[in-house]
Each structure stands twice: as C-alpha cells, then as structure tokens.
Structure 1
Amino acid sequence: MPNSTKIILLSLHSHLLSSVKSNQKIRKTLGRCLSLSNGENISDLKRFLLEFDADAKEGRYWLKYFKNFSHTQRPFAIAHLDDDVFERKDMLENLSSSLCFLQRNGMKCIIVHGKSFPCNKPISFQEFNINRERQIKNSLELATSFENNRTYSKILFSGSGVLRSNTPRLSQPLQSSRTSSKDTIKSRFSKNGEDYRGELTDINYQIIEWALKSDSIPILGTLAETPSGKLVLTQSDTVLDRMSLHFQPLKILLLNSTGGLVDASQDKNSSNNQVVIPQINLPSDLESTLNLSNLDDITRKRIININKMLGHLSPQSSVVITSADQVLKELFTHRGSGTLFKHIDTFIQTNNLRDIDKNRLVNLINTTFEKTLKYDFFEKLQDKIDRMFVSENYNAAAIITHEEGLIIPYLNKFVISSDIQGLGLSETLWNLLKFQYKTLIWRSSHTNKINPWYFKNCEGSWSNGQWIVFWYGISDPETSHRAIKTVLNIDISFENSPSKPAASNKLAASDISSPTPKSDPPLIISL
C-alpha cells in the first residue's frame, strides 16, 4: 500500500473513532477505505477500528508509540504460539489478521511454535514423528492464513540449518535396562535406541534476518539439526530465550487459547468470572507470583524464564501472556487483555549523597528537564535532604527536602527518563512516595507537560500563572495557604532562570482549590 494511502486510512481511522456512534457508520466509512486501498484486504484494519471505538485515543497513541520502533533493525515482537491455538481455527484467523496488521504498519514479528517437554524425559521416535508432523502442519496453516490476508511469510523448515543441536546421548532405558528386548527398545526409541530430545547449541540468525528484510513473517518450529544431519526436538522456551536475546524485540507475546494468569485467590466464588492478573513487576513480584496456588510446574518455570529474559532486554521491552485472539486489545489499550511482565528497577533510598552516583543523577535530571542544574545545587541540598529515591539504573529519581519555613515535606525533584516513560516506573516511584509520606507538597512550571498527571495524583492545587503548586494530605486551608507562599519563594534549581519567581505571590482564599478537578494523564506516562 502506498504511504499516502496509509496516511489517508489512518486519518480516517482517527476521525471515525472519535465520532462514530454505531457499527453501521464504521462499515460505511470502511467502504470508502476499500475504494482508497484499491481492493487490498483490510479485514485486520476493520477489526482494529471495531475494537477501539470505545477509546480511540488509546489506539492512536499506542500505534504511534510502537511505530517509532519500525525504523530500527530489530523486530517489533517475537510471538510464541502454544499448540492449542492451532486447534481453534477462528482464533488462528484472528491472530493471523492481527499480525498482518502489525506487519503492514512496519511492526515486524517473528513466530515461534512448538512444545516444551520435561528435561528428564526422553523422546521416542514415535513421539518425535508426531511432533514433527504437527509442526509442519501448523506452519503451513499459519502461512496459508497469512497469505489469505495478503501478507508474505517464510516457513523456516527443519533441515535448513536454522536451529542446530548437539548429538543426543543414548537413551537411559537402553543404557540401564539389560532385560528390555530389542523390539521394546525400537518401539520406544529409534532403531539404535537414541533419544530424539536435543539441546540447542546455535541459531543461524542470518536466515531469519533475511526473511525479515524481505518483508516476510518468519515462521519457526523447534526442530533442530545435529552435526550429522539428524533432526531432533529442542525446547521451545530455549529457542525463544536465544531469539529474544539476539533480536531484542520490544514485545514478547506468549499466546495461548485461555488468556493471562489467573489469581485463584481473588475468584473463590465464581468459576465463570476469573480474575486475570493485569501486571507483574519483576523481580519484586517474582516470589509472590510463584506462590500462586493455581500455577503448574510448567507455568512456574516459564515465569522464572521470563524474569531472566527481561534482565537481558532493554527497559522498554516487556513480556505478555494472553489469548491469541486478544493481541490487538493487549497492544493498543492501556488496560490490555492478559498479564504483562515488566522489569521494574528497584530503588535506592538514602539521605546521603555519598550513597549515589551524583554524576549519573545530574545527567538524568538535566536530560529529562532539558535544562542545566546550577553548579552548587547538590552542595546546597545536602543539609536539607530528607530522603532520595533513585532507581538502580538511574532511570527515575525523587528528592524530598525539608525547606525553611515549611513543615510539610517538599518534593524537590521527580524525574522519569524519557526512555522509559509509559512503562510504569512513574507509578512505582509515586506509590513509594505515597507509602513513605502521608503529606507532600511540590510545584511545577505552568508549561510542564506532565501537569495533567500531577492533577490526577494530587488532592489540591493553586496557580499563580508561572507555577502550579500541588499537594496531598493537607486538609486545613490555613496550612495549605502558608505552605503555598513558602513553596513559591524556593530558589529555582536551574541555570538561566530568575532566582525567585517573578509572578505575584498574593493569595486569596478562593484561589485555593481542594480538591482540583482531575484531568486525564498525558499519554506519555499513562499505563
């Protein structure tokens, strides 16, 4: 599709979703879209429009956010498909249409499918053949579905040298059981008693990169080749781990037919209204998640692997467990549809500057505010620090100080790196502050882009045209009145700024709002 046509379609999509009142109007506009696209199959776009008529802003925002990664060399997502997805034809068609939508918008995906199996259980020749035939059948079905949606795919069949494995050892039953007959051995294993379970040793990424560069979706099973040319089965989780480490995708989609993780403790009275865990922050939530009573050993092992995987990916990356027919809802809404796993930094808490890397903290503040701190900022700050919260990777920080004439703790700095905005770290840090401080006051420039988020999280505010003062936990109007006057006279932290605010600090009782009406948070930090 020409770029101009894509722009027209996206413009129509924005207009349609902001004004549509019924599905009938959607279909009418889609008819016009069909004529603009010269007959190209746009069933995936149609479903996208239908799914997001409730909140068009979310869909538009995430589409724009994700498309920023389409200019990079890495794929947008690696999707792992459980075998049960292929048993649901309607689900497979829905998934195919969703992945084609991503592909057409420059968000390239890699597909991995195949079973994982117990490490201590040998795989017989018969089991291997069943799995091999199933993988070939599933690959062909998926490729056909992509073709029906006018999207190219490339099946990377076994024997192409993509996955390489070691030579399996002789099976344990053959080595230890002298009483077993040759016929029994042949029925359980191969003619020479070998185990068809291989250990992945290498991946030929060049073949996969070639498929991506040719604008095709690579489809990869888990059949690997030994040095002698024999085919064996490898663990799909291991293939996924290695692929993720190499390609560094933004999203890893673990797709099944049931959806996200369920917290059984929140659903004791109903089996029809299961409570899906929306988000798990790792590593902090790892132990509590593994202790969920309804998890099986395979799921627990997968969660442990997710924790390790996220430790090697960029801060923007995340892993999702969700249903294969809910991919667009998961990606293009704030709430999602399944269980989202994110690596969230732990926070250093201290009141001593010697406990932190001051240079890294200064760089975080300067870069995020796009200003330069005064050279003596921290020198003057040392004796006033009540507590500092600094993430382990210096992606986020908050500084609380005691200011002269102010009995309420003052939030001197609240900083979230632009690289990780929208990933939940701001909420984590804010929850830490709320837990540690029952009252807090701070100010923000009138032009600060995150003021809507501050409005959402405050209990009161006041503005003099240059500054907006926010607070929570203050119920007495006289206390807030005095606090505002003090906060407005605090020295400015950055160079090339007047040391005192120039605007009038005169207050009137009617100017103090408690609470201030909340506005929606800006999309750059929404969850």
Structure 2
Amino acid sequence: MLISRGSSSSSLSKTFSSFRYKSKYLSSLSTLPTRNWQTFLQKNHSNNIQQNRYYSRDSSKNEKETIIKLLYNIGSRKEVEQYLRHFSSVESQKFAVIKVGGAVLSDELDTLASSLTFLNRVGLYPIVLHGAGPQMNGLLESAGVEPNYIDGIRVTDAKTLEIARGVFMQENLKLVEALERLGTPARPIPSGVFIADYLDKEKYQYVGRITGVHKKVVEASINSGALPILTSLAETPSGQILNVNADVAAGELARVLEPLKIIYLSEKGGLLHGETGKKIDVINLDEEYENYMKQPWVKYGTRLKIREIKELLDHLPRTSSVAITSAGQLHKELFTDYGAGTLIRRGYRLFKYNSVNETDNSKLQQILQQNSEISSDPASYIKQLGKKSHAIYSDEPYEVLAVITQENSKPPFLDKFIATKNSTLNNVTDNIWTMIQKDYPKLTWVVDTNDKNKEWFFKRSDGSYTRNGKTLFWYGIDDVAEVGNVISNFSSTTAGGKSGNAFTNSSRTYSTFARKNDSNLLRRQYSTSTSPAKIALIGARGYTGRNLIALINSHPHLSLSHVSSRELEGQKLTEYTKDNISYVNLKTEQIKEMQKNGEVDCWIMALPNGVCAPFVQAVNEGQVDKSLIVDLSADYRFTDEWTYGLPELGDRNAIRKATRISNPGCYATGSQFAISPLIPYLSESPTVFGVSGYSGAGTKPSPKNDPAFLKDNLIAYSLTDHIHEREISHHLGTKVNFIPHVAPFFQGIHLTVNIPLNKSFKSSEIKELFEQKYSGEKLIKVVGDIPLVKENSEKHFVKIGGFGVHSSGKRVVVVATIDNLLKGAATQALQNMNLALGYDEYEGIPIE
C-alpha cells in the first residue's frame, strides 16, 4: 500500500530518535487535550530538530507505527487503519483540502500545527488554504480604512489590497513556521496558484473570479515532501493580484483536485441546528437538502454555506465529502466513525420495499451474490423469500441490503445484512440500521461467532446468546419469558439463520426529514414508467449499429421504434425479435416532426464523423429537451454543451442529467483507462501503439477492411494527428502520442502504452494503483499478465495488465485490450443510455 507520495532526502528516524514512548504516555493520551499534543510533539523531538528538519516517506516503519498508536486513543485500531487505507488509496494531492479561517490562525495556531503534523507523520499531505479576515479588519481599522461590503463581498480598493497582501504573507509564514517548529516541512505559497479575472471591476475593484488553478504548484510542494500552505490571493494572466473569498478559493481548488475530503475549520466545530442549538452530525444532501432549505432557521450564512457545499459536491466524485470541524478535533473527524464535526456528503436515498417484487431484481441478485451461503443461486433465495412475510431495505445503488422476515407471532428476524466496503466507509450501514429500528421496535438476528465484525452487532443489541458457533442477538425484547422463547427457538435449530456479509463498525447518526411512509422515499429512483423507452437508431447498417440492436433486443426497458438506413430501406430487421420492424430512411423534416410529437425517447446517431449535424439540428428544432441524443461519432467529443460519456472516468451524475451525450471512441476509451491512474506521475507524454481488428475500419470497402489485403499483414495509418490522439489528450488533460494500426483479425483492439514516470515504481505498486482506481468497476478488469485480444473479443469489459517496469523504475508499459464494437462503442452507448434514461447502468449488459 502506498501511504504517501512525498520524496525528500532526509529520514524521519533522526527526528524521532529521541521518542521513547513508555506506557505512561500511551495510557495518558486518551485524556490528553488536543492542544497539548503540540507540546508533546515539540518536547520529544527538540533534541533533534536542528539535526534534521525535514522528513521523508522512507521513515522507519516502527516510528510510523508509534505515531499511529497515538491515534488509537481517539478511535479503535480498526477505525484508524481503515481510514488510513482509505486516505492513502489515492494520490497525495487527492487526500484533503483544508480551509482554515483567520480566527483559527489567531486563536488556535499551535493546535492547528500539531493536528497537521500528526497527519503528516502518518504519510498524509493535506493542502491547507487559509483566510485572514479578522486580521485584515484590525489592520484596516488601524489604517483608518473603513471596510466596505456589497452583497456580502468585501470591496477591495488599492489600499485594502496592499494591506491584504501583507496580512496574507504574514499569516502564511506564521503557520509555516509553527509547522516547522514541530519538524514538519511546509512550503509557503502566498500566490501563484489561482488564475482570475475581475469579478466586477467597477463594483468590487480588485476582487477576482477564479478562472483556473495551477495545480502543479501544489503538486510540486507535495512531491518535495512539504505541506503546501496557500492563501486565497489570485492573479490575472497579466500579473495583477486580486482578492478572492477563501471559501470560494477552497471550493475551486477542490473542483480541480477532487480530494476525498474538503474540510472547513471553524471555531464552532460544526454546523449548529438553529432550533436545538446542537451540532448536526451528518447531512446527506441527496436525501435532506431540500428539507433543510425549507427550515426557517436555515438562512443567511448557514443557507449560503449549505448551498455552496452542495454545488461543490455535485461536481465531485461521490466519494468526496465536506467536514466542518475545529482544529483540535481534526484527527477525530478524519479517523473515527463517530467524527467530531458536521459531515456533509451527497449520500444516497434509502428505500424500503414491502415486497421483493418492488426491487430491482438484477441489482438485488448482484448484492446477494456477495453472501457466501447463496452466492451460487440467489434466484432461489429470492423465490423462497417471496413466500414469506418480508421487507427489504437498501440504498439507491444497492450497496447495502437488509432483509427482514417474520413468521406468525415470532419477533421479526434479520435474515440478511450485506454491505460493500464503500458503503461502510460512507456510513450507509448505520443509516439503514436506524431506519430499521424506526420500523421494528423488536428484532432478532444470528451471526457466526468468528465474524470479524461481531462487535458492531453487539453495540446494536440489548442481549445475546451463543451456542454451537453462532450468536443470537436481539433488541427491544424486555419480557423475560419472550427472551426465553427466542433463545429456545434458536437452540432448537442447528443453522439458526446467518447474517450476510459482515461489515465495519460505523456510528454516524442517521438524519432525515422524510416521513417513514413517504412514498417518494420508498420507491426506486430509477425509471418508474412501465412502458419501454422508445429508441430510434440512425445509421443502423454499420457494425456498431448491429451490436446496439442486439443489446436493445435483450434489454427489459428499451424498445426500437425506428431503424434508419439509406442502403437497407424497406428491408426487414430480422435481428430484432421484440417487434416487426423494417429499415426506413428518415429525413431531417421527419425527425423534426417525430421529435415534436414525442415519438422517441432516445436518438442514437451511429453515423460516420461529420455526418450527423443535420440530424441533431432536426432534433433540436423539434424540441431540445424532449429526448436524449447519444452520438457515436467524434463530432461532439470536444463540445462543452455535450456530456462526454465515459462513466468510469467521468461524472456519472452528469451523465444521468444529460440530454446530449457524446460516446467516446474505441481507441480513446482503452487508452484513457490505461493511462489515467498514472496521470499524476507523468514525466513526458505517453505513447500509445494501437492495433485494431478490421471491423474498426467500418463497412465501406477499403484496404483497411479487406481480409485478403490484410492477410499476413499489419497496416499503420494516420501516423500523426489522428482524431483519437486529440480525443485522448483532450480528456486526460495531457499530451498523448497515438499510432494506430489495423490487423487481420475482425474484432478487438490491443493497446501497448509506454508511460514515462517522474518517480520510481515497482510493477506491484503500479498494479495496485490501477486496482484502486478501478475498484468496483464492473467493466474493467485489472490483471497481472499481458491481456490478449481473443480473451475479450465479443466481451463487454476492458482488460488492463502487463505493468512492465523499466530497470530505472521510471518507465512502465501497460497493455489494454477492448472490443472496439462493444465497450468501445455499443456497450458504452448502452451504459450512457441507461444512466440518462434512469435505469441501472448495467441493465441489459451481460456482466462476467
């Protein structure tokens, strides 16, 4: 596991050589106030700070473990190690962006420095951005400059900007010096990160609107082993300094870096409920945002803060979250399930189904397969479940599943409780549990005694009884006679019933404004229409069109309404068995009229490059938002108004909301998957050597799709400036060289990708980066060996492997294979259609 990415030449061993953690230290740390941690750290390394001020990721294992032991005193070992693995699973700059208020710098500087030091000691590199509002106000008052605000924005004239620049420099250096007193290397970066234009020069003068972020400045600091300490000063392209709100700057930085955590440090330590005065533990925006915004106490700054956080998280991966906490509780917020401040995340809606028939059967079967007892035949379990009185609880993506059954007068029984690792880290398990508790005042369940997470169940039970390797749990049963009956029934059976997959303990409070029987909460958030979505395919003659027809033919929620092909007009579509359909040759005026009448839910443009614009225009003129368009050509892959439909590397939520989707190219899809996990470590442009089967050359006759010409041959073509070279480079955000070839086989693509690196890696470390990046992705398989074209020809997944590292450690060759007609085209189009039309992403796609 790669814990950190810093690389300075010194070792942590000298700095911590004076640490002698005796039992008295460890036993007393559980009650040690956080503000004293700074004194503790400073005292124990003062003898060595002059010998070695800088630390490296090569620090000794024993010293790192000693620091981690300090964290065990604020949370369980399991919690701490779980979150360490989670935070270190991404590149260092993607761990956390921490926004520090000016008041925190004034009042809690030492506490802040010690908290950041602890994070750095365990190999984490938070990016710190601070404000200086109170300090500025004091200096402006001393200088006789009266603060002026318009619409809540500080008007920054030349004098104010001069003072702001000096204050930011002073506060920036103050924090850097506090960190270095504790032996934590930090780099002052008062400017040079944010690019901006004037927000409104006449109105606000020297106030900026951020237009770009120089993230390489931040990455350079981390790569040198130093924490980056930023201010919110920005610059125009011509060099004029502008003042920017620190919260806004932190948000823009987070949009670019996409960190796991965005943390706002405040004196209050969280958001306070306006009526009870108590701190809010967690807000799940997908479920609670609208209800919070309706509350009378959510106004002014609180309302603005929640809205801004929602807008930020809507643009970030669902794994990202925002925490509002205090400097002294930062480590507790990060490394314990209970947290310390207010956690804000997108979350997922939770649902209760009163019958298995109400669920998404395919997703239900997928999560049931994670349970060892029924993994081989989940369909039989579902069939038997339908014969009992039961209820099912799940989140929207079916990452947590609870099944409760009830027989006669017996208490309700928790028959299955299955959770993925991702749902555990995001505390969905506790939310489901609290929902169950509301509905069931009494509950019993059984767990194997060797279940590694049995402690989680103990904490949620009122009593337990163990026999023959199994433990019976219950809550809400107070009558002794009833407890006796429950135990007697349990003892009379040998199996007793088992729980599903065990999961990690988590303890965030479930919070929702939804009523228990709210129909909007209980129904699936996928498509609720009983009628299949109507699909019109323009350009059905090509290979991709044929594969899409086959996929739609087996899709439970899609039906073909029109297939258009000039060459095949009038012929029967024999491959489609759901209905009697013949090829037509749709004109643009017909398409416009069909769009006006709402005859089509989704238009698929399976046409050559440069051809589909008139058809798209016809749909737009009919009614722009009436239906979805998925374009398989390259015509709109560089157009901002269209959503680039690569779910595994893009924003699935954006695809769900999209009405215009550009389907990525086949070469481009495989190449991006092969390069993306290594983007932070590139030293030069990667080179992609691509070989495609001749189906990639289309159906129009040419030497590139002539089997006789290709026999015993390999043809290189478009040696430079191929459209896929531009596409790969554009969407990865880095220059990539691409050299395509066509081979004698019909279907499939082989990509050999040469990637120069800016640091040394082992092959196993590279493979781990790919496994972490694509964990949970059903259509990407990371393997150790070099994948072969024939292994996934006519399959719907991509295979990535090889991972051959040069003897220098600074160059790796990655091999990817992909079916150009399926995941490179038709399968990917179906993924995008499913998301945008409201179905499960993998509906109708055979998962292997």
Deviation sequence 1:31-63 (CA, Å, 0-9, x none): 888789997689xxx9x9999989726164454
- More deviation, 54-63/135-144: 54-63
Aligned mates of 1:74, 1:302 — CA distance in 2: 27
Shift of 1:289: 4.9
Are the equivalent residues in 2 in contact too, given 1:364–1:415 (CA < 8 A)? yes
| Aligned counterpart, 1:510 | none
Q: CA deviation at 1:79?
A: 0.8
Task: Tell me what 2:126 maps to.
Answer: 109
Aligned equivalents of 2:256 and 2:197: distance in 1? Answer: 20
- Equivalent pair of 2:97/2:129 in contact (CA under 8 Å): yes
Task: Tell me if structure 2 keeps the 8 A contact 1:79–1:253.
Answer: yes
Distance 1:313 1:292 in 2: 26
Which deviates the most, 121-130 or 208-217?
A: 121-130
Q: In 1, Cα distance between the equivalents of 2:406 and 2:17?
A: 54
Look up the match of 1:387.
Answer: 391
Work out the CA distance in 2 between the residues paired with 1:433 and 1:221.
46
* Greater helix proportion: 1
Code of the aligned partner of 1:388 = I
Structure 1 residues 123 and 278: alpha-carbon distance in aligned structure 2, compared to 1, 3 A threshold: same
Aligned positions of 1:420-439 closer than 5 A:
420-439=423-442
Pairing 1:72–2:90 present:
yes
Amino acid corresponding to residue 484 of structure 1 in structure 2? F
Q: SS at the partner of 2:386?
A: helix
**Secondary structure, counterpart of 2:411 in structure 1:** coil
Q: Which residue in the other structure is 2:271 paired with?
A: 261
Matches within 5 A, 1:495-514: none
Match of 1:504 in 2: none
* Partner Cα separation in structure 1 for residue 184 and residue 236 of structure 2: 32
Task: In structure 2, give the amino acid aligned to 1:318.
Answer: S
- What SS does the corresponding residue of 2:275 show, helix, strand or coil? helix
Give yes or no for the alignment of 1:92 onto 2:92: no
Match of 2:165 in 1: 132
CA–CA separation in structure 2 for the residues paired with 1:2 and 1:81: 29
Q: 2:224 aligns with which of 178, 195, 214?
A: 214
What are the Cα deviations for residues 387-411 of structure 1, in whole angstroms up to 9, with x where unaligned?
21110122211112245x6643322
State how far apart, in whole Å, the 2-side matches of 1:34 and 1:157 are. Answer: 28
Q: Which residue type is aligned with residue 378 of structure 1?
A: I
Deviation for aligned residue 1:257: 3.1
Letter of the 1:17 partner, please give it: L
Which secondary structure state, in structure 1, belongs to the residue aligned with residue 330 of structure 2?
helix
Within a 5 Å distance, the mapping from 1:14-33 to structure 2 comes to 16-18=25-27
* Separation (CA, whole Å) in 1 of partners of 2:499 and 2:116: 48
Residue aligning to 1:322: 325
Q: Tell me what 1:242 maps to.
A: 252
Q: Which moved more, 1:204-213 or 1:3-12?
A: 3-12
Task: Report the equivalent of 2:803.
Answer: none
Q: Aligned partner of 1:261: which letter?
A: L
Do residues 441 (structure 1) and 444 (structure 2) align? yes
What SS is found at the alignment partner of 1:58? coil
Q: Summarize deviations over 1:450-477 as a string: whole Å, max 9, x none.
A: 3222222223433321322222334324
1:339-385 per-position Cα deviation (integer Å, ceiling 9, x unaligned): 33344321122234454333333333434769724242222223335
Whole-Å separation in 2 of the counterparts to 1:459 and 1:469: 11
Tell me the residue number matched to 1:175: none
Distance 2:468 2:40 in 1: 47
Identify the residue that residue 467 of structure 2 maps to in structure 1.
Answer: 464
Larger radius of gyration: 2
Contact 1:442 1:487 in 2 (8 A): no
C-alpha spacing 1:523/1:443, structure 2 compared with 1 (3 Å): closer
Seen in structure 2, the aligned counterparts of structure 1 residues 448 and 52 have a Cα distance that, compared at 3 Å, is closer
Matches within 5 A, 1:262-411: 262-263=272-273, 265-266=275-276, 275-286=278-289, 289=292, 297-313=300-316, 317-332=320-335, 335-367=338-370, 372-375=375-378, 376-384=380-388, 386-403=390-407, 407-411=410-414
Amino acid at match of 1:135: F
| One-letter amino acid of the structure 2 residue matched with residue 430 of structure 1 | W
Equivalent residue for 2:825? none
Matched AA of 2:81: K
| Aligned counterpart in structure 1 of residue 490 of structure 2, from 475, 484, 488 | 484
**Cα 1:253–1:11 shift into 2, 3 Å:** farther
Q: 1:107 Cα deviation (Å)?
A: 1.2
Separation in structure 1 between the aligned mates of residue 299 and residue 496 of structure 2, nearest angstrom: 56
C-alpha distance in structure 2 between counterparts of 1:406 and 1:212, whole Å: 62
Amino acid at match of 1:399: V
Q: Which has the higher contact order (CA 8 A, sep 6+)?
A: 1
Q: Closer, same or farther in 2 for the Cα pair 1:118/1:244, shift >3 Å?
A: farther
Relative to structure 1, is the Cα distance of residues 108 and 119 closer, same or farther in structure 2, using a 3 angstrom cutoff? farther
Determine which of 143, 165, 185 is the counterpart of 2:196. Answer: 165
Taking the aligned partners of 2:340 and 2:79, their CA distance within structure 1 comes to 15
Q: How many residues align?
A: 462
What whole-Å deviation, never above 9, does each CA across 1:140-185 have from its counterpart, x for those lacking one? 2222222222222223333x3x21123444415xxxxxxxxxxxxx
The 5 A counterparts of 1:178-193 are none
Give the conservation status (yes or no) of the 8 Å contact 2:262–2:322: yes
Q: Within the alignment, does 1:83 sit opposite 2:102 as a pair? A: yes
Q: Which runs of 5+ in 2 are unaligned?
A: 1-9, 55-62, 134-148, 509-848
Within a 5 Å distance, the mapping from 1:450-461 to structure 2 comes to: 450-461=453-464
- The CA distance in 2 between the partners of 1:59 and 1:9, in whole Å, is 27
> In 2, Cα distance between the equivalents of 1:37 and 1:168?
45
For residues 342 and 252 of structure 1, what CA distance do their matches in structure 2 show?
A: 10
In the TM superposition, residue 106 of structure 1 has moved relative to its aligned partner by: 0.7
* Paired residues of 1:251 and 1:319 also in contact (CA < 8 A): yes
The alignment partner of 2:84 has SS state of helix
Q: Is the 8 A contact 2:415 2:499 kept in 1?
A: no
Matches within 5 A, 1:34-73: 56=73, 58=75, 60-68=77-85, 69-73=87-91
Shift of 1:285: 4.2
RMSD: 4.3
Among 224, 237, 240, the residue aligned to 2:234? 224
The structural deviation recorded for 1:295 is: 6.2
Change (3 A) 1:5 1:340: farther
Counterpart AA for 1:198:
G
Query: 1:51·1:329 contact (CA, 8 Å) conserved in 2?
Result: no
**Which residue of structure 1 aligns with residue 187 of structure 2?**
154
- 1:14–1:60 Cα contact (<8 Å) kept: no
Cα contact 2:490–2:496 (8 A) shared by 1: no
* CA distance in structure 1 between the partners assigned to 2:18 and 2:342 by the alignment: 31
- 1:437 deviates by 1.7
Q: 1 CA distance for matches of 2:129 and 2:40? A: 37
CA shift in 2, pair 1:113/1:3, >3 Å: closer
CA contact (8 A) 2:16 2:45 kept: no
Deviation at 1:2, TM superposition (A): 4.7
The structure-2 alpha-carbon separation of the partners of 1:356 and 1:326, relative to structure 1 and needing over 3 Å to count, comes to same
Q: Secondary structure at the match of 1:199?
A: strand
Gap change, CA 1:7 and 1:442, over 3 Å in 2: farther
Deviation at 1:449, TM superposition (A): 2.2
